Amino acid sequence: MALKKAIGILVFSIQGVVGYDYYIQTRDAGLNWGDLSATDYGTIVQDRVARSRAARDSAALDAPQDSQSLWQTASSYGKSLLGGGEQVAQAETGEGTGEVQPVCIRRGNVADC
């Protein structure tokens, strides 16, 4: 019984939304209620769906394609926020150059190098 009530509410709500949209489209076309045929209304709805899909597709094409660089950017923010501060950043820059960087230990607000 609850399923029948839920389906009834859903059908009634859909009819209300479609009726209101039909009224808005009729008003925007400068016609009276009932002057817009069902085929014309269907064409309007199909055009809106096509424009929505085209906008979504163009937005997907404009999105950055290199997800690895996006991840690296996000992780660099995390490293700078959660890392050890300037001392650790300086130690990381010396890697690969053959220089020996001191190990810094952070205790509270003081870094011992």
Specify the pairing of strand 110-112 against strand 105-107. Answer: antiparallel
What tens-digit pLDDT sequence spans the chain (113 residues)? 789 999 999 999 999 999 999 999 899 888 888 888 889 888 988 998 899 888 888 876 766 555 556 666 766 666 655 555 555 555 555 555 556 667 777 777 777 77
pTM metric for this prediction: 0.47
Q: Rounded to whole angstroms, how far apart are CA atoms 75 and 50?
A: 38
| Residue appearing with tokens 């001392």 | 87
The values of phi and psi at residue 82, to 5°, are -105, 0
